[in-house]
Amino acid sequence: MNRTVLIVMVLAMVAAAASGATFYFVQVKTPASPEMSKEQRITREKFFGTAKELPPIEKGQEMRPRW
């Protein structure tokens, strides 16, 4: 086994260990997401809008902007 192959294998093992440790610590620190309070839900709906469907397009109404 020459030196280049050995160095590549060691670097691959170090990268795999770092990835595994990162994955483990990220999962440990992630808390269970609690339900949103009513106040948070209202604020979210004001900012992002509601998830309701849009009203149907009336007959003759165009979908393109008026220039």
Q: Express each pLDDT in 49-63 by its tens digit.
A: 776 777 777 776 666
Q: How many domains does the chain have?
A: 1
Q: Does any domain span residue 53?
A: no
Q: Express each pLDDT in 22-33 by its tens digit.
A: 988 887 666 666
Q: Which amino acid is located at 58 in the chain?
A: E
Q: Does any domain span residue 19?
A: yes
- Closest to 37 measured CA to CA, from 49, 45, 28: 45
Q: What is this structure's pTM?
A: 0.42
Q: Does any domain span residue 18?
A: yes
Q: Does any domain span residue 65?
A: no
Q: Does any domain span residue 59?
A: no
Q: Does any domain span residue 5?
A: yes
Residue 45 clears pLDDT 80, i.e. is over it:
yes
Range of the domain at 4: 1-29
Scan for tokens 């007959």, then name that residue: 59
Q: Does any domain span residue 47?
A: no
Q: Does any domain span residue 44?
A: no
